[in-house]
Chains A and B, each alone.
Chain A
Amino acid sequence: MDPEGQVDTTTIEDAVGKFGGARDRLMDILQEIHRRLGCLEQQTISALSASLRIPSAEIEDAASFYSFFNRAPKGRFHIRLARTPVSLMKGADDVARAFVAATGAQIGGTSAEGDFSLDWAADLGMADQEPSALINGAPFPALAPSDVRTMVEELRRNRDTTNALPLFPGSDASGLKQSRIAINLLGPGPVLFGDKRSGDGLQKALRLSPEEIVKEIVKARLRGRGGAGFPTGLKWRLCRQAVAETRYVVCNADEGEPGTFKDRALLTLAPDLVLDGMTIAARALGARQGVIYLRAEYAYLEAALRNELDKRRNDGLLGANIGGVNDFDFDIRIQFGAGAYICGEESALLESLEGKRGAPRDRPPFPTDRGYLGYPTAVDNVETFACAAKVIERGAAWFCGFGTAESAGTKLLSISGDCPRPGVYELPFGTTLNELLDLVGASDARFVQVGGPSGQCVGAKDYGRRIAYEDLSTGGSIMVFSAQRDVIATALQFTEFFADESCGWCVPCRVGTTLLKQDLEKILRGRGTLADVRALESLARSVARTSRCGLGQSAPNPILGSMRNFPEAYEARLQEEEFLPRFSVLEASAEAKSIQEHGLLDVEER
């Protein structure tokens, strides 16, 4: 909207035209408008509604869901600071204070001259380089409070709008491998980063029949690397067997589990492996279109990935008659998310891909039966596609030579927190936490959060446990917490994350996550009693049992896990009384008391 209050209809028409006015490309249309205007105001939604000829309520339903869509104008530079247990242990609060002081903007606000907006954000995918921030979509890892003033002054002087930092999405990442964000690949393993890739996984796949590809993937016992561990071969087979005119291959690059950044490493260092895997899947399934659903936080990867896709089109590895095989037509497009953790859940991802709010679907039907636009769809993790390419390249037997009986191959782990060597490690399944902690140099870990907030909190007595589907199953997030960290405070930060990211569709998750947060806060503040702990546990179990999808079902894990592993941490905070109110009357009335110079109540109350 311009200063006169007129809606910029040209921008809206351009965006609609660019995507052919297609309802299912609403995310792209909204993002295009957002990129040009910096926000999506109500008048914009109304004008878009008129242009697309769909009710504004439907557009608002989608647009209002995503945290990266600003609903009001922001400053020229929008600074999003990661607020996670790891960023906080590395000093995110100090960095935030430095930004407030340097910009004159409060957190959640915009500076008076309109140059800067500051916001907290969930994990940005740089847990090994915290504190981190995104500024207009560009990554700024490893910030120190002392860097901030210079940075802000430099930005403030930047009046050249043509060379301004790019707006989300669509920043430049062509030089990413050399750019300021490092890929700390500290432990390259034998499967994904082991050898110089021969590059003939796809060529070999072209010589196999689709059924032979599926058989090889089944033989390799490849399971989903996103955390759930569904057998990939079975997924591909189900998708292949579903009767339909067409099928889709979707790469889940919405890596949103706090503490995970291994897909960023793969997409940066080995995008060809991931794209090979998607193309091999397309061959196996009979898909003609693939989509990479990339989280908004990784918008800066776009240019490099587009280059990669263009190169493949030129090399005949995407497009018509791939590799000279008649009728093997396949292409890949990139779809950006817009800041919603839930979109990492495959059915929510598909909803988002269709231009709707990212609310999970009811199953059945499963995506392999009715997925994207109602067609059979294989949604697989970035790492799964890379593994599939290696399975076809080197053979199932070679792949099964790594790992354990139930977990073949290796796992990419993103390790962060209290350790001297955080980064990406590729380790064979079966590696124990002890071995892993040695690798990263963590000598005094009090507990390890395996699989992010939705995973498990593992205490020292269980460091002999193994990273494997049959023991500690994880999508790859490993956060190390040293002896000085507060177990309950960490559980609260994780619980807050779920409350912020709950999609709101079902009652137990929508309301329950906030109630869990409030009840845990009461205990953390030293106002909890034994009855509160029992009630909290009971509520946590109800939320886990009744929630509709994995988010709500696992949201109580930080509380239940910390209760199980560290009961003494809870006991230490409990009060002896049978009941204590949530707040202290004395504290609440302290100001009044200081004015009146006597208490409101004669009795001393807590």
Chain B
Amino acid sequence: MSDQDFLITVDGMKVRAKRGQTIISACDAAGVYIPRLCHHPDLKPAGHCRLCSCYIDGRRASACTMPAAPGMVVVSNNEELNNDRRVVLDMLFVEGNHFCPTCEKSGDCELQALAYRLGITAPSLTYQWPKREIDASHPDVFIDRNTCVLCSRCIRASRDVDGKSIFGFSGRGLGMRLNIDSETKLSDTSFAAIDKAAKVCPVGCIVIKRTGYRTPIGRRHFDKAPIGTDIEACEVGDPE
């Protein structure tokens, strides 16, 4: 443990953190999984999905945006928090048009995996049946906004990593949509399948063409182990 490191408490466990680290990155490093959807370790946090909402020193805040500070006490795993997470996931399922059985991301989808992990079998909220556009114009990448969860991973990746700003939001509230940097279609932009933005979508919205069924259903990422397992596989606990 270096001089810069300090300890925080997460669900009663001591977790080592560094200055400048967020709660979620400190927990990831320590093998303590906090559910999240919009967060991606390679991108700046944005605080959209609220799945990582925890009690931090007694107040609700998102673990992905909150910088860790010495002695912080975090509660992430209790019935109220997990129930709120189920409500938020439920909202995402009814907000978009998610057809898991026919979606090529099934088994690799973080939204689906989170629902399984948190025990959602079917949405209980009211389906909104929105009209969402698809864009198949690009030779290598397909956009199906039906499953978009507006997590801004592609926006952040394209702007901050690829330096292209291919994506943005349009509109506000329930009318908010993923927008592209073109009046018409994705193929008019400089988007490429090797872009970071093409690889970070947690759901079946931005998918690379001709790769969908390379891994058969049943042998996909979350078919093998629940989401969060690779984080939990780290060694938990000991700050030394």
Interface residues of A (CB under 8 A from B): 42-43, 46, 54-58, 60-61, 64-65, 340, 357, 362, 364, 499-508, 510-515, 518-519, 539, 542, 545-548, 582
B218: Cβ under 8 A from any A Cβ? no
A546 to B173 Cα, complex, angstroms: 16
Given known A46-B183, A61-B168, contact A507–B48 (CB-CB < 8 A): yes
A506 to B38 Cα, complex, angstroms: 10
A119 to B169 Cα, complex, angstroms: 24
B49: Cβ under 8 A from any A Cβ? yes
Option from B60, B94, B183 in Cβ contact (under 8 Å) with A42: B183
Given known A506-B49, A512-B91, contact A64–B83 (CB-CB < 8 A): no
A506 adjacent to B48 (CB under 8 Å)? yes
B171: Cβ under 8 A from any A Cβ? yes
A91 to B149 Cα, complex, angstroms: 40
B223: Cβ under 8 A from any A Cβ? no
Option from A502, A503, A505, A546 in Cβ contact (under 8 Å) with B60: A546
B171 adjacent to A65 (CB under 8 Å)? yes
List chain B residues, Cβ under 8 A from A518: 126
A546 adjacent to B87 (CB under 8 Å)? yes
A57 adjacent to B179 (CB under 8 Å)? yes
A539 to B123 Cα, complex, angstroms: 13
B91 adjacent to A504 (CB under 8 Å)? no
Interface residues of B in 146-170 (CB under 8 A from A): 149-150, 164-170
A504 adjacent to B50 (CB under 8 Å)? no
B202: Cβ under 8 A from any A Cβ? no
Nearest CB to that of A49 among chain B residues?
B181
List chain B residues, Cβ under 8 A from A511: 91-92, 94-95, 128, 174
List chain A residues, Cβ under 8 A from B80: 545
A-B contact pairs, 18 of them (CB 8 A): A57-B181, A58-B165, A61-B169, A64-B169, A357-B172, A362-B45, A362-B47, A503-B173, A504-B169, A504-B173, A505-B48, A506-B47, A506-B48, A508-B88, A511-B128, A511-B174, A514-B174, A546-B87
A39 to B205 Cα, complex, angstroms: 31
B172 adjacent to A65 (CB under 8 Å)? yes
List chain A residues, Cβ under 8 A from B150: 504, 507, 510
List chain B residues, Cβ under 8 A from A46: 183
Given contacts A65-B172, A364-B66, 13 further A-B contacts (CB under 8 A): A56-B183, A64-B169, A64-B170, A505-B48, A506-B49, A507-B88, A507-B95, A510-B95, A511-B95, A512-B91, A518-B126, A546-B50, A546-B88
Option from A57, A501, A510, A519 in Cβ contact (under 8 Å) with B180: A57
What distance in Å separates the Cβ of A162 from its nearest Cβ neighbour in chain B?
A: 34
What distance in Å separates the Cβ of A545 from its nearest Cβ neighbour in chain B?
A: 6
A500 adjacent to B170 (CB under 8 Å)? no
Option from A364, A510, A582 in Cβ contact (under 8 Å) with B173: A510
List chain B residues, Cβ under 8 A from A61: 168-170, 179
| Per-position binary interface string of chain B over residues 2-28, scored 1 when its CB falls under 8 Å from any chain A CB and 0 otherwise | 000000000000000000000000000
List chain A residues, Cβ under 8 A from B126: 515, 518-519, 582
A139 to B164 Cα, complex, angstroms: 43
A506 to B172 Cα, complex, angstroms: 11
A506 adjacent to B50 (CB under 8 Å)? yes
Option from A57, A505, A514, A546 in Cβ contact (under 8 Å) with B128: A514
Option from A364, A503, A508 in Cβ contact (under 8 Å) with B87: A508
B65: Cβ under 8 A from any A Cβ? yes
B76: Cβ under 8 A from any A Cβ? no
Interface residues of B (CB under 8 A from A): 45, 47-50, 53, 60, 62, 65-67, 80, 83-84, 87-88, 91-92, 94-95, 125-126, 128, 149-150, 164-176, 179-183
B165 adjacent to A504 (CB under 8 Å)? no
List chain B residues, Cβ under 8 A from A65: 169, 171-172
A56 adjacent to B182 (CB under 8 Å)? yes
Q: Which 3 A-B pairs have the closest CB atoms?
A: A57-B168, A504-B176, A57-B181
A513 to B80 Cα, complex, angstroms: 20
What distance in Å separates the Cβ of A521 from its nearest Cβ neighbour in chain B?
A: 11
Option from A55, A362, A510, A548 in Cβ contact (under 8 Å) with B176: A510
What distance in Å separates the Cβ of A418 from its nearest Cβ neighbour in chain B?
A: 30
List chain B residues, Cβ under 8 A from A43: 183
Option from B45, B173, B176 in Cβ contact (under 8 Å) with A500: B173
What distance in Å separates the Cβ of B90 from its nearest Cβ neighbour in chain A?
A: 9
A508 adjacent to B179 (CB under 8 Å)? no
A519 to B84 Cα, complex, angstroms: 18
List chain A residues, Cβ under 8 A from B128: 511, 514
List chain A residues, Cβ under 8 A from B60: 545-546
A501 adjacent to B173 (CB under 8 Å)? yes
Nearest CB to that of B158 among chain A residues?
A57
List chain A residues, Cβ under 8 A from B179: 57, 60-61, 64
A64 adjacent to B65 (CB under 8 Å)? no
A60 adjacent to B170 (CB under 8 Å)? yes
List chain B residues, Cβ under 8 A from A504: 150, 169, 171-176
A548 adjacent to B172 (CB under 8 Å)? no
List chain A residues, Cβ under 8 A from B165: 54-55, 57-58
What distance in Å separates the Cβ of B82 from its nearest Cβ neighbour in chain A?
A: 11
What distance in Å separates the Cβ of A363 from its nearest Cβ neighbour in chain B?
A: 8
What distance in Å separates the Cβ of B16 from its nearest Cβ neighbour in chain A?
A: 21
A42 to B183 Cα, complex, angstroms: 7
List chain B residues, Cβ under 8 A from A501: 173
B168 adjacent to A60 (CB under 8 Å)? yes
B53 adjacent to A546 (CB under 8 Å)? yes
What distance in Å separates the Cβ of A334 from its nearest Cβ neighbour in chain B?
A: 24
List chain A residues, Cβ under 8 A from B164: 55
List chain B residues, Cβ under 8 A from A357: 169, 172
List chain A residues, Cβ under 8 A from B168: 55, 57-58, 60-61
List chain B residues, Cβ under 8 A from A505: 47-48
A362 adjacent to B62 (CB under 8 Å)? yes
Given known A58-B165, A61-B168, A514-B128, contact A507–B183 (CB-CB < 8 A): no
Nearest CB to that of A59 among chain B residues?
B168
Question: Among the interface residues A43, A57, A502, A505, which one has the most CB atoms of the partner chain B within 10 A?
Answer: A57
A507 adjacent to B91 (CB under 8 Å)? yes
What distance in Å separates the Cβ of A532 from its nearest Cβ neighbour in chain B?
A: 11
Option from B50, B67, B167, B170 in Cβ contact (under 8 Å) with A508: B50
A499 adjacent to B174 (CB under 8 Å)? yes
Option from A362, A503, A539 in Cβ contact (under 8 Å) with B172: A503
B169 adjacent to A542 (CB under 8 Å)? no
List chain B residues, Cβ under 8 A from A64: 169-172, 179
B50 adjacent to A547 (CB under 8 Å)? yes
List chain B residues, Cβ under 8 A from A60: 168, 170, 179
List chain B residues, Cβ under 8 A from A514: 128, 173-174
Nearest CB to that of B55 among chain A residues?
A545
A508 adjacent to B91 (CB under 8 Å)? yes
List chain A residues, Cβ under 8 A from B53: 545-546
Given known A504-B174, A504-B176, contact A364–B67 (CB-CB < 8 A): yes
List chain B residues, Cβ under 8 A from A510: 95, 150, 173-174, 176
List chain B residues, Cβ under 8 A from A539: 87, 125
